[in-house]
Amino acid sequence: MKDFLKYMLATIAGIIVVALIISVFSLLTLVGIASMDSSASPVLDNSVLVIKLDGTISERAQENPFAQFLGDEAQESGLDDLLASIKCAKESDKIKGIYLEGGALAGATPATLEELRNALLDFKTSGKFIMAYADNYTQGTYYLCSTADSLVINPQGMLEWKGLALQTIYYKNLLEKVGISMQVFKVGTYKSAVEPYLLDDMSDANREQITTFESEIWNKMLKDVSKSRNMKAEELNALTDSALMFKSAKFYKKNNLVDKIAYTDAVPQILANMMECEKDDYNTTNVADVTALAQSKPKSTSGNLIAVYYAEGEIVQEESASMLAQGASIVGPKVVEDLKELAEDEDVKAVVLRVNSPGGSAYASEQIWNQVMNIKANKPIIVSMGGYAASGGYYISCAADWIVAEPTTLTGSIGIFGMFPEASKLINDKLGLNFVTVKTNEFADFGDLSRKVSDNEAAALQGYINRGYELFTKRCADGRHVSQDSIKAIAEGRVWAGVHAKKIGLVDQLGNLDDAIEVAKKKAKIDDYTVKSYPAKQNVFDQLINQVKGNSYADAKLKESLGEFYGVFNSVTNMARKDHVQAAMPYYLKFNL
């Protein structure tokens, strides 16, 4: 028995020691990977920039050496890196063209695709070429690849161009089966974020707003692609209704949707022909290397900075471990602290607040608004809107000196709601529990899940929501220099596309991040400056901590398994963690891009 215990303990000790050695070795390896000098993969002369349109796109992607180490092939691209690499490729004598490799993009909003597409069009003004190839073009990748001088598809390939469909999932019947109902208090006819919990079908008001902005976005996409493919928008729209995804490659070529039909192995020769050289006489480079080349260029010696602060994701007052795993979020106290530092930094002459958010906590939004005002008192602050800048996302934007949005940005949604679950049927009927409360005052047990809110509680709650709406609309009115009544006329929680938001005065200019930086430069009255991005990206050790705290690897695998339904899962599972009072749009909107 003694020998058995001795050997067992020795075995356990050996396993622990080996595990520690492997962990240390792995960490050192990962640090080595993360710290590798970009000069190890230089951009050579006579190069083609290869952009793989696959995986997910976010505003700023973190470099993740863990994914590579663990053999995770999922690719995440940062819009900032993509734009920087395309701009550098335009200006660099080493790069002669761009090769777009089509795949399936996830998480890209119409505005994200539009900004990327405009960057590709700007690249072409240099006289350099773009070539695109895909076995199968999704609608989003085709929208981007239609900019190409030579657009190639596999002989057995598929091309999706089918129009927009926006789907909302309703939970009311599911909640009823579980024994839960949602008690909602809101202001805004169009404030549809609460609809999935109250209805089993779309309201007329919500259908109206979706139909309007969806049509505006689709018409913009039609116009863009038809111009690049040298055809009429009406002709392209007619082809859309012919079930294009089931047509042959020959049909696509006949109708001018593609230029060539070829297998993958023909791509090198096609590129060589466009380079006017032999197949082995050109080099390829990637986004990471070209971004590194862009960052290595000499900075301004003036000391003047234009700070671009990225505010991406749901607005929350406190970040949970699961949110660390699920991606970017706008954490009120952290953003407030960061913006305060930018306000006090004398080298920062102007701030561009890059907002890509569907909103969230009304309280956190108000705190961030206050810091925007703090910056505004000392230096210009310009807002650049990404895919979303709605509800709380608009709340934190409205006080800026100038607001720039893409035509397809979703913004507005000026409204407030509060949502409180009531689970008496689940607790009493299904679980057989009976809660008995003894209290000293009327509101002592407010928030009790086992009962409905009382009439007095409901009146107090609605009054609180009404005051929040009054404050929200006043913030917007003061920021836009109009009357509160004129804001209320276009508020009511309604979501607008950027092109419409410009017409009704919610934004000042249609454009991209570079346009916003140009406005910041003029308002700061500086010519020589350096653009610096904030907050700083996480280093390898921060990523390691967040991997452990948030279990992001497990969440990534869940995201991979659930696919397009991950957004639904994420929305429902985080419901209990959200502030009860929200300035949020119906933030799980699934475009078929």
* Torsion, CA 424, CA 191, CA 389, CA 483, rounded to 10: -130
CA-based nearest residue to 235, from 246, 223, 253, 245: 223
Catalytic residue among 96, 191, 379, 521: 191
Q: How far apart are the first and last CA of the chain?
A: 66
Q: How many Å apart are CA 360 and CA 378, to the nearest integer? A: 28
Looking up tokens 């050109």 gives 282
Contact 315, 363 (CB under 8 A): no
- Please report the sign of the dihedral spanned by the C-alpha atoms of residue 29, residue 31, residue 33, residue 35: negative
Paired residues of 99 in beta bridges: 50, 131
For 255, other C-beta atoms within 10 Å of its C-beta total 17
- Residue 75, amino acid: Q
Contact status, residue 96 vs residue 275, Cβ threshold 8 Å: yes
425 is catalytic: no
Q: What is the DSSP letter of 531?
A: E
Q: Got the DSSP string for 66-114?
A: HHHHTT----EEEHHHHHHHHHHHHH-TTEEEEEEEEEEEES--HHHHH
Q: Is 590 a catalytic residue?
A: no
Active-site residue, from 58, 181, 365, 391? 391
C-beta of residue 531 within 8 angstroms of C-beta of residue 418: no
Kind of pairing between the strands at 381-390 and 348-357:
parallel
Positions marked active-site = 191, 391
